[in-house]
Structure 1
Amino acid sequence: MPSKWREKKDKLAAEEFERNLQRSADDTTVDVVKDAAMGAGDEQIFEKKLSKEEKKAKAKAAREAKRKLKKGDTVDDEEEEEEDAAVKAEKVLAQMNLNENEEAADVDDGIDHDTADALAAAGTICTFAASRKGVDPRSRDINVTNFTLQHMGGLLLDETEVVLNHGNRYGLIGRNGCGKSTLLRAIGARAIPVPRGIDIFYLSEEIEPSDTVTALDAVMAVDEERLRLEQQADDLNHVLTELADKISSGAESDASGKTYDEQQEEVMDALNSIYERLDSLDAATAEVRARGILKGLGFTHEMQGKLTKDFSGGWRMRVSLARALFLQPVCLLLDEPTNHLDMEAVLWLEDYLSKWNRILLLISHSQDFLNNVCTHMIDFTSRKKLQYYDGNYDQFVKTKSEMEENQWKQYRWEQEQIKSMKEYIARFGHGTAKNAKQAQSKEKVLQKMIRGGLTEKPVEDKPLNFKFSDPGHLPPPVLAFHDVSFGYPGCEPLYTNVNLGIDLDSRVALVGPNGAGKTTLVKLMAGELLPTKGDIRPHGHLKLGRFTQHFVDVLDVEMTPLEFFEQKYPGDPREEQRKYLGRFGVSGSMQVQKMKELSDGQKSRVVFAKLGRDVPHILLLDEPTNHLDMESIDALAKAVNEFQGGMILVSHDMRLISQVANEIWICDNKTITKYDGDIQSFKMNMRKDLGIDEKVKLQGDASVKKKTEDALAPKKEKKEQPKLEVVKPTRPKPADDATAVTTTSAASSAGSLEINASDDPPKNKYIPPHLRRKMESS
């Protein structure tokens, strides 16, 4: 109860306030009006609008609170036992609410500012048109306008659009070094506005080796949401057990005032929502799906249980690819996903991705793969724009060719019109009044054409001209294997009693599963490995040129391509070195740029230039297309076909095999077997062995120019048309009112006619009027 002194003091204060209020009523009214006119007082009625910095700070605070809450959950077992069940339930429910409401705490601009800043620090800067309203988190598409991409000070894209629609599978193509991988890295880092409802997985590097995590565990651990939900479900089940114990002991409520029954009902509701989400994620079949994906990528059941540290870099990259496929993100970004796969795994992945019903953006050098996976193509043009095409790669090539042809026609027509009008204006602009008026009219037409925009001259990319010089003749046998056996120490032998021969006219493609020994066979040919039994006999003057999957090892990446060639071949003039490098697509500023700053495809060109300069007798090419663009692959195929020496090729690129290989050798079952057929039939047999639906028609299969059954079938003979004949007119008989006449084509150019010797023409035939009159007159 308040004292009388306090009541008296409050009464006096109220009276004083009333007097002051009455005394300054007019002044207060004026001030209030002025303040309202200036916008004062709105914060009491409307929610204050946050600035961009305040929004970032608020979102950061929410993330920090989430991290602290996660750390706060990891308490000792003793403390957990002492902690009240209601407190545990509140913590779990608070974490769930934080996960759900964290995104709503910030107006969504669709950008991950932390990773975008890290990307900018690494030299990649993205600018774009941003909306004040932000990005709708419910959107299923990515749409960015006025997008500009810079890397290390160089402009890669300028004022273009990035459009990725849900349900489409895009193939990104462009010249080596144009910036395809940089674009994928920027999208994967969410450095552009991406709706928060779209999760992105960018496959960029292999999984780190671990001595505790198996391949299967690594794949299943990628689904962080499923793991978090499962942990929350375990926590809530533990809380339910404690609440049930308290209810059974007769307790009704705790210090919070809520009864244990109410708390149990809240926990049950939360647990049901978690189970519903786990059902939507198909968590019950997670292990089955993970094993299926690993099996498709070549992992046996035993390999799936091996630790990741026991795998090579190529196999760890497969684990990373399996993680991406298992996660099933809304937007999947793949950069050359087939590089570390054998042919069987490529076919399985091709079939798997062809059914992808979300957003897929991939970079690939394989036309076969692009044809059978992609529904749309994106051309990274030399004009620093992204050009979008419907259809797969073959349709893209056809459409682009037609568009360029039409563009050339329009460009030439406009230039002819401009030239004609300028000549007329220059000739008659100051002549008679009539001609001057026509010249002025043409000048207006010309200005109107320029204002409306003229057609740009089509840009033709400079063609590449790979060339391997003639090595000269060597009498056979050039390289022979006699009863060769080989196996690595402590392992099963890879080859047993292999006999083969290679000459300068050999064009061989080695195919087979990973681990069968294709690369090992190439190393045996190169002399890098020695057989455990038998002998390998090369010609005394044989010179080999080898391209390996680790091709960078032959380069000094701290040097420029020009410096590297001047060091390797000091006798050649600098200008000749420049011209030679330019033929392999290493031209301009690329020649004086350190090779560590070049893309992998550009480094590959330098290695091929070195191979051509060394003039080998036999080329040993181990996955040469892994980082090359389409133009470089076509140039390589042309150079190999014109090469006067031999070639051994290890590749999963079926199109390249079809272009350059005359023989297919299968490396399997510890031996080498020659395949009787072409690469297309080999591919179809492999699809059948993998159980891939044969009814699915391969879209634009570019691996082989296969003749269709219709082309092979005998052509149907055309039905012979009856010849027209002119018959000799005869005098009509009384019984016959008409005489049948048939005409024939002229027997000679002079118009001579062949007369039918038949005197009795067929009846009931039409007789032309001029013959009828002639017959009647005779």
Structure 2
Amino acid sequence: MIRSTGLTLRRGTKVLLDSAEFVIHPGERVGIVGKNGAGKSTLFALLQDELDQDAGSLTMPDTWRIASVRQEVVSSQQPAREFVIDGDTHLRALQAERAQLDEHDGTKIAELESALIEADAWSAPSRAEQLLAGLGFKPDQWMNPVNSFSGGWQMRLALARALMAPSELLLLDEPTNHLDLDAMLWLEKWLTAYQGTVVLISHDTEFLDAVAKVILHFDQCKLVRYKGGYEDFLTQRAERLKQAQIAIDRQSRESVRLQGFIDRFKAKASKAKQAQSRVKALARMEKLAPLQMESGISIHIPSPANMPDPLLVLDKVSTGYTNEKGESKTILSDVTLMVRGGARIGVLGVNGAGKSTLIKTIAQELSPLAGQYKPAKGMEVGYFAQQQLDMLDLDATPLQHLARIAPDTREQEMRNYLGGFGFGGDTVNSKVAPFSGGEKARLALSLIVWQKPNLLLLDEPSNHLDVDTREALATALAEFNGSMLMVSHDRHLLRTTVDSFWIVADGKVQEFDGDLEDYREWLNQRNQAQRSEARQEAAENNGKENIDRKTQKRLEAEERQRVSALRKPLESKLKKVESEMAKSQKRLEEIDLLITNESFYADERRDERVKVLNEHGELSKRHNDLEEEWLMLQEEIESLAV
């Protein structure tokens, strides 16, 4: 196990941990949470023996092999698959020794061949390809040079390389930052099957909740251990704060404000599945009130001065890029959609599908290649792009940044505004250069929303943000009165802030009538169809047409019998899972109906409300686990298809 005793860590003069003690047991999946700058990455460096503690001790078994993701990928002409296999350094060392061996040394050859078999050398290419496929790389990309991929895809290669390495301890620092939802769901499944110990830093709370079974929280220079996932941590920590009399009065005021907002939303919510999903996500915020107030970050997005309806119409728009030769490359075509006043839209699709291209076109950073772009008179766009942080002046302070766009505003008013985004005290007059990614993202967002846009375009706004800031952003966006389009892999942020979805796929953009659970199923069906098509094509290429008809019929009959014997136990288990899913879904629907009843939020029903919401959280978690099991069983059955 990993054990710390009296552990003290400093970064410069700042104390990160002071006489901290914690234990991580073998096989546990542990999430590390805390504010930006609390010391999460420093703890990882200590675990990897990259620095020494200032006092105390940290011990772990000497035999444990540690795997982690390199934050920088060295530019290389090496094929992607070979780069991933390099993660297994023991295997590569054996292969190198075998290549240099004198062929006449029979004894040594036998020893090395045995060692290579034990290291699974012959399955290494297949294992690497499975990792690449799971993380979104197509078969025709597996042998492309590493330096032919963009920075985000190179980070996926670095993640695959870490997963390839045999290890007893896997350290992952923000592994989902460059993943789309499809790859993220695959990674969740991979990590739940991993036999070693996982220590994970992530600001994606749904991913953290799905993977982690223990939470270690940086709290006042200590590491406090909580049993369960992230949702369990929220509940337990909120209770700790209440019991310690921390922020009880604040919670009461915040709950009243938030409850009024939830009631207003429910009054206008349609019966669409996503609207109901959002009601549940907003109800979850009640238990976050004391945590958000304690964080000191309370983001407020000003209401727009006017709200035309419709705000924007895209009529048969094609969009993409023009290269240096003046040749047009179309990414999306025949896009016909409308953004209504007050619309809140989440944009879904795998990486590379064209989500950012769509947002850039709406932001008018890209001109349509065809069709009509029809903005309403008075449309004001606030655009937060993934590269927004690069546009900040590193030698200027937050106050100077805001003064440049609001020269006539009183300094105290600007200080109060920036304070809501977490820039108070000396920070408001500190240069931006040493700020963390999360602090820079907060500043960039504050500058965008200061100008009161009526259309917010957000491309991965929560990247780099810590959990407290993400929750504050979710609350602010939920209360925003304007229109919004958001690209994000943060499922909690999407559930809390959007009412409907668009899907970008196959060069098209279409409205999606469903919620994130429906999108998960849509992805699964799409992937199954693609795998089935690939298998059929492979079968045809393997020359099945050359087998005579009689032999083919016999082989097909034998294959059907073999598959049937394998399918029966899987189908039996699938029925049991479906039965339990139906029961939990029925109870969830009963609770959902109760939650939409206005009387449920009366003061005298508070105890009942807490009990029901806790039951809903536990049921939702169990239902998600069942869905994962159902998906795995379906995939196993699908893989047996003749």
**Normalised by the size of structure 1, how large is the TM-score?**
0.60
Distance 2:591 2:211 in 1: 34
Give the alignment partner of residue 492 of structure 2, picking from 622, 636, 655.
Answer: 655
Distance 1:459 1:610 in 2: 22
How far is 1:711 from its partner? 4.7
Match of 1:596, SS? coil
- 1:468–1:611: 8 Å Cα contact kept in structure 2? no
How far did 1:196 drift?
3.7
How many residues are treated as equivalent by the alignment? 494
Contact persistence 2:474–2:497 (CA under 8 A): yes
Distance in structure 2 (CA, Å) of the matches to 1:472 and 1:313: 39
After superposition, residues 19-34 of structure 1 pair within 5 angstroms as: none
Q: Partners of 2:225 and 2:122 in 1: how far apart?
A: 40
Task: Choose from 277, 281, 292 the match for 2:130.
Answer: 292
Letter in 1 for 2:495: S
AA in 2 matched with 1:180: K
The match for 1:302 is 140
**Per-residue deviation, 1:374:** 0.9
Output the CA distance in 1 between the equivalents of 2:42 and 2:91.
31
Indicate yes or no: 2:64 matched with 1:231.
no
Matches within 5 A, 1:198-213: 198-210=64-76, 212-213=77-78
Partner of 2:193: 355
- 1:311-348 deviation digits (Å, cap 9, x = unpaired): 11101111101101111322221111111111101110
Contact 1:507 1:648 in 2 (8 A): yes
Provide the TM-score with structure 2 as the length reference: 0.72
Q: 1:520 offset after TM fit, Å?
A: 0.3
Map of 2:630 onto structure 1:
none
Q: Does residue 625 of structure 1 match 2:485?
A: no
Q: Which of 395, 398, 402 is equivalent to 2:239? A: 402
TM-aligned CA distance change 1:688 to 1:534, over 3 Å: closer
Q: 1:311 aligns with which of 131, 143, 149?
A: 149
TM alignment of 1:476-555, pairs within 5 A:
476-489=309-322, 493-555=330-392
Does the CA contact (< 8 Å) of 1:496 and 1:670 recur in 2?
yes
Q: 1:530 to 1:707 in 2, by over 3 A?
A: farther
The corresponding residue for 1:171 is 31
TM-superposed deviation, 1:202: 2.8
Separation in 1, partners of 2:305, 2:207: 37
Tell me what 1:143 maps to: 3
Give the structure 2 partner of residue 378 of structure 1: 216
Structure 1: give runs of 5+ residues left out of the alignment: 1-140, 241-263, 412-457, 716-778
- Name the SS for the 1:238 alignment partner: coil
CA–CA separation in structure 1 for the residues paired with 2:20 and 2:364 = 51
Kindly tell me: are residues 655 and 331 of structure 1, through their superposed partners in 2, closer, same or farther at Cα, counting changes over 3 Å? same
Q: Which residue of 2 aligns with 1:14?
A: none
The amino acid that maps onto 1:668 is A
Q: What is the CA-CA distance between 1:176 and the residue it aligns to?
A: 2.2
Cα deviation, residue 607, structure 1: 1.5
Distance 1:690 1:188 in 2: 37
**Following the alignment from structure 1 to structure 2, what is the Cα–Cα distance between the partners of residues 491 and 567?**
37
CA 642–707 in structure 1, closer or farther in 2 if over 3 Å, else same: farther
> Residue 468 of structure 1: SS of its match in structure 2?
coil
| Residue 418 of structure 1: aligned partner | none
Separation of aligned partners in 2, 1:354 and 1:617: 42
**Structure 1's 204 and 598: CA in aligned 2 closer, same or farther, altered over 3 A?**
farther
Q: CA deviation at 1:271?
A: 4.2
The equivalent position to 1:369 in structure 2, one of 177, 185, 207, is 207
1:156–1:178 CA contact under 8 A, matched in 2 = yes
User: Is the Cα–Cα contact under 8 Å of residues 321 and 328 in structure 2 kept in the other structure?
Assistant: yes
Query: Helix, strand or coil: the match of 1:535?
Result: strand
Measured at CA, do residues 509 and 579 of structure 1 come closer, stay the same or move farther in structure 2, by a change above 3 Å?
A: same
- Summarize deviations over 1:515-556 as a string: whole Å, max 9, x none: 110000000001111111112122343221111112212311
State the distance in 2 between where 1:148 and 1:507 align: 46
Q: Is the 8 A contact 2:320 2:357 kept in 1?
A: no
Instruction: Give 3-state SS (helix, strand or coil) of 1:609's partner.
Output: helix
Which residue is equivalent to 1:47? none
Displacement of 1:475 after TM fit?
A: 2.7
Q: What does residue range 752-767 of structure 1 map to in structure 2 within 5 Å?
A: none
Q: 1:178 corresponds to which letter in structure 2?
A: A
Residues 177 and 602, structure 1, Cα contact 8 Å, conserved in 2: no
User: Alpha-carbon deviation of 1:162?
Assistant: 5.0
Opposite residue 360 of structure 2, the aligned amino acid is K
Aligned residues with identical type, % of pairs = 33
Other-structure match for 2:294: 461
Confirm whether residue 607 of structure 1 aligns to residue 444 of structure 2.
yes
Distance 2:187 2:119 in 1: 22
CA shift for structure 1 position 688: 5.5
* Aligned residues of 2:89 and 2:165 also touching (Cα < 8 A): no
Q: Give the secondary structure class of the aligned counterpart of 2:448.
A: helix
Q: Which has the higher contact order (CA 8 A, sep 6+)?
A: 2
Deviates more, 1:189-198 or 1:517-526: 189-198
How many Å apart are 1:690 and its aligned residue? 4.9
Query: How much does 1:680 deviate?
Result: 2.1
In structure 2, the CA distance between the partners of 1:388 and 1:584, relative to structure 1 (3 Å rule), is same
What displacement does 1:174 show? 1.0
Alpha carbons 1:511, 1:664 under 8 Å: kept: yes
Q: 2-side partners of 1:332 and 1:602: how far apart?
A: 28
Task: Identify which of 670, 677, 688 aligns with 2:507.
Answer: 670
Identify if the C-alpha distance between structure 1 residues 280 and 146 changes in structure 2 by more than 3 Å, giving closer, same or farther: farther
**2:84–2:128 contact (8 Å) kept in structure 1:** yes
1:470 aligned residue: 303
Alpha-carbon separation, structure 2, partners of 1:548 and 1:569? 21
**Equivalence for 1:712:** 589
Cα–Cα, structure 1 residues 588 and 195, in superposed 2: closer, same or farther, change >3 Å? farther
Residue 623 of structure 1 deviates from its aligned partner by 0.8
In the TM superposition, residue 290 of structure 1 has moved relative to its aligned partner by 0.2
Q: Deviations over 1:330-368 (max 9, x none)?
A: 222111111111110111011111112212111112221
Hey, what's the Cα distance between the residues in 2 that align with 1:158 and 1:688? Answer: 51
Alpha-carbon offset, residue 272 of structure 1: 4.3
CA contact (8 A) 1:215 1:306 kept: yes
Structure 1 counterpart of 2:37, which letter?
A: G
**Residues 468, 353 of structure 1: CA spacing in aligned structure 2 closer, same or farther, 3 A cutoff?**
same
SS of the residue corresponding to residue 597 of structure 1 reads coil
Q: Which residue of 2 aligns with 1:747?
A: none
Contact kept? 2:308, 2:379, Cα under 8 Å: no
SS at match of 2:518: helix
Give 1 or 2 for the bigger CA radius of gyration.
Answer: 1
Segments ≥4 residues shifted beyond 4 Å = 192-195, 270-273, 489-492, 687-698
Q: Matched residue of 2:412: which SS?
A: helix
Q: Which amino acid aligns with 2:306?
A: H
Q: Is 1:637 aligned to 2:503, yes or no?
A: no
Q: CA deviation at 1:687?
A: 4.3
1:646 to partner: Cα distance: 0.5
In 1, Cα distance between equivalents of 2:591 and 2:32: 42
2:33/2:201 contact within 8 Å kept: yes
CA contact under 8 A between 2:69 and 2:173: conserved in structure 1? Answer: yes
The alpha carbon displacement at 1:665 in A equals: 0.6
